[in-house]
Amino acid sequence: MQAIGQTGLCVILAQKSTYSIGESGLGNQTTGANSARQGRSLVVLMIGDIFGKPGRRALARYLPEVKATHGVDFVIANGENAAAGVGITPDVAMDLLGAGVDMLTTGNHVWRHKEILSIMEDNRRILRPLNFPPGTPGRGYGVYQSTNGARIGVMNLQGRVFMEALDCPFRTADQLLDQVRLGRDVDIWLVDMHAEASSEKMALACHLDGRVTAIFGTHTHVPTADHRVLRQGTGFITDVGMTGCYDSVIGMSAVSVMPKFLTKMPTRFEAAMGDAMLCGALIRADATTGRCLAIAPLRMGAGLAESHSF
Ligand SMILES: [Fe+2]
Ligand SMILES: [Fe+2]
């Protein structure tokens, strides 16, 4: 995997003229140099919020097996909770990228450790939500190349319902998709929608159906069972869940969290330290059409019950 040149909202498309240009989102026909991609499917793994040391351990333990078993071509992971449960540091980011993750998305906790600013500008393999206000450090999307030559766009957005009032994620996505088009500038477009409300994530999915390959929800740390391919060919899941310890309150030890709910007294949250799961979702995408062919949740390790074990 390598990053293709990119600054701010502008992707440098050195190879743009090489490809036939499609104008209508999913289903574009391709010719010429792009014909090498025809019929080629890609497997992408989206890993949910990696929470502290247990989450990082689960990643290291299970990711190689998942990649080998499913022939994964590209791995995205949300790393906003990777450093002790809140935020991410440069060392932790490098650990995750060295463990087989191709690029990292983040969310509302991205700036918790200010050291991350030192790599956010220069390292194209880590994103922050695109709809932070203009002037915010870092970048909100990137275009990457998988080992088999497909151009993969990744966009990181953050919701606004029950969250900080950032710029509109819907209009921000529209603006970017006008500039970086599926079938012309990228072969597949992937979105991490980091949001609290399921309604907002589903609304974004309806809004972008047919214009991106897949939308993965993150942030709640609870996996949902609504994975599906939408009418116009976009894969969607409201939340891929947490890569961390589920014997907890969304990753924090229950003992450390309970005073907040029982007495409203100030308390210091601490990351739970039990066995952890790797949680995420796999998609199979057609690199020629940009369509999602299939989507499936992925859960590895101890924590959540099997869906059929009743
Ligand atoms: Fe999170
Ligand atoms: Fe979050």
Q: Is residue 119 packed enough to be buried (19+ CB in 10 Å), middle (13-18) or exposed (0-12)?
A: middle
d(CA 292, ligand 2 centre) in Å: 25
d(CA 222, ligand 2 centre) in Å: 12
Q: Which ligand is nearest to the CA of 194?
A: 2
Query: pLDDT per residue over 81-134, tens digit each?
Result: 999 999 999 999 999 999 999 999 999 999 999 999 999 989 999 999 999 999
Average pLDDT score over residue span 287-297: 97
Q: Which ligand is nearest to the CA of 50?
A: 1
Q: Is the pLDDT assigned to residue 310 strictly greater than 90?
A: no
What is the residue whose two structure tokens read 């921000």?
172
Average pLDDT score over residue span 298-305: 94
Confidence of residue 39 (pLDDT cuts 50, 70, 90): low
pTM above 0.85, yes or no: yes
Confidence of residue 72 (pLDDT cuts 50, 70, 90): very high
Q: Which ligand is nearest to the CA of 81?
A: 1
Domains and CATH numbers, the chain: 40-298 (3.60.21.10)
Query: pLDDT per residue over 164-198, tens digit each?
Result: 999 999 999 999 999 999 999 999 999 999 999 99
What is the residue whose two structure tokens read 């949902």?
224
**What average pLDDT does the structure give for the chain?**
89
**Is 113 known to be catalytic?**
no
Average pLDDT score over residue span 206-224: 98
Q: Is the pLDDT assigned to residue 8 strictly greater than 80?
A: no
Q: What is the pLDDT of residue 147?
A: 81
3-state SS, residue 70: helix
109, 194, 219, 227: the active-site residue: 109
Query: pLDDT per residue over 40-55, tens digit each?
Result: 899 999 999 999 999 9
Q: What is the pLDDT of residue 87?
A: 97
d(CA 237, ligand 2 centre) in Å: 16
- In the chain, alpha helices (H): 52-70, 90-98, 117-120, 169-179, 198-208, 254-262
d(CA 81, ligand 1 centre) in Å: 5
